[in-house]
Chain A
Amino acid sequence: NAGVMQNPRHLVRRRGQEARLRCSPMKGHSHVYWYRQLPEEGLKFMVYLQKENIIDESGMPKERFSAEFPKEGPSILRIQQVVRGDSAAYFCASSQGAGADTQYFGPGTRLTVL
């Protein structure tokens, strides 16, 4: 049973470009979470999705960031018009059930904005 998969592992973008980060949850998991980690910091929650629904996006910046988890295919975190401050590691996690279930994390995508 493969774990949570994220790609790409490293992504370099210039200011103003778009970044698309992908996450495939563990088999049988229908709950996906995105977190961001700045250098020397803990992880900060961004958004929680179930298939085709955004459940909680309270941690998402109001502009330029969006997320989806379509019926088929991976979850996508999209950052438009990236700025240097978006440089961070973005982690996806999945769980079988909601709430108190254990979340399993992917290896992360390290975004560098030049």
Chain B
Amino acid sequence: SQQGEEDPQALSIQEGENATMNCSYKTSINNLQWYRQNSGRGLVHLILIRSNEREKHSGRLRVTLDTSKKSSSLLITASRAADTASYFCATLNQAGTALIFGKGTTLSVSS
């Protein structure tokens, strides 16, 4: 079964607004990572949060992790048109050899 599942599937906002995406997972984790993918491009690593961390910031990004609920959220503050992309959370498989991705949240930011 899928390890990471994001919601919503799609999100449309105006520039300047905040965007929140959520991710749920099923098994225990060492860390959880968020990636961005612009249309037709590869994935860009955004942020990694370890299982013993509850919150992490990087620029306009804020990630939270709740291991008791097996969920994480990615907040993008003061969004820009350039933030338009798909966002994926990923966790390691049981063997620790590969990332398991959800289907992603497609964010559209209009100016």
Given contacts A102-B33, A105-B42, A107-B42, contact A45 B99 (CB under 8 A): yes
- Find B31's partner among A42, A43, A100, A107 (CB 8 Å cutoff): A100
Structural contact, A45 and B42, CB atoms closer than 8 A: no
Q: Is B54 an interface residue (CB 8 A)?
A: no
B-to-A contact residues, CB < 8 Å: 4, 30-31, 33, 35, 40-45, 48, 88, 92-93, 95-104
3 shortest interchain CB distances as A-B pairs: A42-B101, A45-B98, A99-B96
Q: Which residue of A lies closest to B99 (CB)?
A: A103
- Find B42's partner among A42, A58, A91, A102 (CB 8 Å cutoff): A91
Between-chain CB contacts (< 8 Å), 12 pairs: A33-B98, A33-B99, A35-B99, A41-B103, A42-B88, A42-B103, A42-B104, A48-B98, A93-B43, A100-B96, A104-B45, A105-B44
Contacts of B43 in A (CB 8 A): 43, 91, 93, 105
Contacts of A48 in B (CB 8 A): 97-98
Structural contact, B96 and A102, CB atoms closer than 8 A: no
Q: Report how far A98 CA is from B48 CA in the complex, Å.
A: 15
- What total of A-B pairs shows CB separation below 8 Å? 61
Structural contact, B98 and A102, CB atoms closer than 8 A: no
Please, what's the 1-or-0 string for A57-70, where 1 marks a CB less than 8 Å from any CB in chain B?
01100000000000
Q: Is A25 an interface residue (CB 8 A)?
A: no
Q: Which residue of A lies closest to B100 (CB)?
A: A45
Contact-size category for A = 20 to 34
- Find A102's partner among B30, B45, B95 (CB 8 Å cutoff): B45
- Smallest Cβ distance from B90 to chain A, in angstroms? 8
Q: Which residue of B lies closest to A108 (CB)?
A: B42
Supply 8 further A-B pairs (C-beta < 8 A) apart from A33-B99, A93-B99, A99-B97. A56-B95, A93-B43, A102-B33, A102-B45, A105-B43, A107-B41, A107-B42, A108-B42
